[in-house]
Structure 1
Amino acid sequence: METKLFYENAYKREFTAKIVTQQQDEKKRWYVVLDKTAFYPTGGSQPHDIGTLAEVNVVDVENVEGEIRHYLKSPIVDHQEVIQGVLDWDRRFDHMQQHAGQHILSAAFAEMFGFETISFHLGKEVLTIDLNTSNISEEELKAAEALANQVILENHKIETLWISKDDLNLYPLRKQPSVTENIRLVVIPDFDYNACGGTHPNSSAEVRAVKIINWERHKKKVRIHFICGNRVLTQFNEKTKILFELTDLLNVPEQKMTTAVKRLLQKEKELEQAFEKLKEEQLTSEAKQLLHSNDTIVSRVYYERPIKELQKLAQMITTISEQTCVVFVAQNEKRLQVIGAKGPASEAKCKQVILESLKAINGKGGGSEELVQGGGDVRMSAEHFLEEIVSKI
């Protein structure tokens, strides 16, 4: 463990080390192994550190069979015997805050309601924990969040201990560790005892705050979405800015924002319904215009017109005139599409002809005798394609 400087001092931002090996892995990614490192590798649901080694960007850090590999943007050339490593401190401290905040919130749920945390994910924007319960109330969420923030405010020490398997019964662990050797405990005395290999601040106060954002049911459990530390302030600022912009746009105070938005959504729904009604009337009128008293087939070419709209138009025509067969060809971008429909009194072999004709444009199609459609490449003009189909019908 003496080579893992992040366990000696999680606040170490710079260090010097010797390169043990530099090579490419099976994916041709360059990496170096050092005689010691402050870079934390991905593990225990905590993402890896980034930074530089000899001024070359470290883009990933992994523990591969006990070997900590520092993956580089490019190989280190002309390096000295001892090189310097520099961590991206903002990222490291963010991970420390989030991970410690997760411990505190998980302990709060366990202490107050007996809800065990069964999984944890530290994302770029939000954290999640899955609780071993199928339901949760708003009151329970508020109570656990309040206890977590009280522990943060009380500025408890966060300590780490290395113990053996035989010493596990000396501590009231929230759950048993997944390893049997080199067991590392992260402890908030009299509040939380947890086996963990991640990096954490020295005190709960450095977590600053915990804020639950949302929750959902996931695989019959409860998933909590939350943020900690500087993320709370950052996201608060972002959301406040958006809120102020919305109050200006809607010209209402934030207390009436919900009512104003509901009113807008209702108005939008009414406008959409009115638009659909007008569109339906327009298609009905168009269908009647395309029909003539003795027509048994109606055919047209269209450019850049939605195929679903043409389907509806074709069905309207065959509803109005049951003896009519309809063939529409549309050229949309670099594709020819065809719609065929016929009324119950029509004897036209619409489906058979269209499916056979599609072969000429390397196309495919399908459907029923009443409505068939397909499409293919633009190997001829839309007018020529329509003429071929109509002549065969």
Structure 2
Amino acid sequence: MIRAHKSVFILFPTEEQLKKETLFTTLPKYFAGLRLIKIADFDLIGCGGTHVQNTAEVQGIAFTQTKEHKKGMTLHFTCGNRLFQQFENNQKQLATLTKATQVPITDLTTFFKEQQEKIDTYQQRLATYQVQTLITTAKEIAPNFVYSEATTVNVKELQQAACKLAEIYPLALICTATKSDDTLRYHLTCLKENSKLPIGQLIKLSNQKFGGRGGGSALKGDGTLPYNQKEAWLHFLQD
């Protein structure tokens, strides 16, 4: 349709003219002041926007993204001069990537897929190492209270390490923690519920006393608190 150089017309039809339009499957319920955009014998639609004088002015259309949702699909596209500007920018980025990686354009997708797989493998190894570090450095700093802290550990790794430590110290309250900026992020767990002070309630009290955040159930929970409150918080847990 772009290459066909179809003329685009703006119409303000009367009711009689509307009835003669064969492109309508269903006539509009109103016609007074109705603005129609007609592309020769191809399309007819009501629209108040800006339009080209013929389809060739569109030059080209490229769909850049699709988003599916319950009511259908949203299409993102670019056309005209913007399309060629985007193409030029993309070509420059591809040229930069091929120069940096020494990989042809046709092989870039495979190259980056392989690199991502390597990154995923290294991240898994690092996670395993972090969990093992938390386990091996854990100390029973008070009767039935085990604490372990490591750097750059995420919540999932804290939980995994605490779970394994609970198997080693089945009667203890386990705390695994890491420092993130000026914040102590921690996970608490135990195999047996303390009827007087479940872990969820313990975290709630910690929040009130040390300005922390978090929550949990009777047997486990996660939270954060200012790192400068760490020592006082540990004494609170021991007590």
Q: TM-score, normalised by structure 1?
A: 0.50
How many Å separate the matches in 1 of 2:84 and 2:109? 23
Change in 2 beyond 3 A, CA 1:271/1:219: same
Question: 1:79 corresponds to which residue?
Answer: none
Question: 1:384 corresponds to which residue?
Answer: 232
Change in 2 beyond 3 A, CA 1:367/1:221: closer
Corresponding position: 1:221 with 2:69: no
How many Å separate the matches in 2 of 1:212 and 1:354? 51
Q: What per-residue deviation string (whole Å, max 9, x for no partner) do you get for residues 31-52 of structure 1?
A: xxxxxxxxxxxxxxxxxxxxxx
Change in 2 beyond 3 A, CA 1:274/1:178: farther
Q: What per-residue deviation string (whole Å, max 9, x for no partner) do you get for residues 293-343 of structure 1?
A: x9422246x697657254444333222121222346777556566643334
How many Å separate the matches in 1 of 2:177 and 2:217? 18
Question: 1:342 corresponds to which residue?
Answer: 190
Match of 2:144 among 288, 296, 314: 296
Corresponding position: 1:165 with 2:18: no
Q: Secondary structure at the match of 1:153?
A: coil
Question: 2:169 corresponds to which residue?
Answer: 321
Q: Which amino acid aligns with 1:314?
A: A
Q: Which moved more, 1:335-344 or 1:227-236?
A: 335-344
Q: Which amino acid aligns with 2:165?
A: I
> How many residues are matched?
236
How many Å separate the matches in 2 of 1:369 and 1:194? 63
Corresponding position: 1:252 with 2:107: no
- For residue 229 of structure 1, report the CA deviation from its aligned partner: 1.0
8 Å CA contact 1:173–1:195 kept in 2: the answer is no
Q: TM-score, normalised by structure 2?
A: 0.77
Question: 1:238 corresponds to which residue?
Answer: 89
Gaps of 5+ in 1: 1-150
How many Å separate the matches in 2 of 1:372 and 1:188? 64
Corresponding position: 1:372 with 2:218: no
Change in 2 beyond 3 A, CA 1:201/1:210: same
Q: Secondary structure at the match of 2:12?
A: strand
Q: Secondary structure at the match of 1:247?
A: helix
8 Å CA contact 1:172–1:193 kept in 2: the answer is no
Match of 1:282 among 108, 133, 139: 133
- For residue 158 of structure 1, report the CA deviation from its aligned partner: 1.7
8 Å CA contact 1:342–1:350 kept in 2: the answer is no
How many Å separate the matches in 1 of 2:130 and 2:12? 72
Corresponding position: 1:156 with 2:22: no
Structure number having the greater helix percentage: 2
Q: What fraction of aligned residue pairs are identical, expressed as a percent?
A: 26
Corresponding position: 1:187 with 2:38: yes
Q: Which amino acid aligns with 1:371?
A: K
8 Å CA contact 2:134–2:150 kept in 1: the answer is no
8 Å CA contact 1:341–1:350 kept in 2: the answer is no
Q: Secondary structure at the match of 1:183?
A: coil
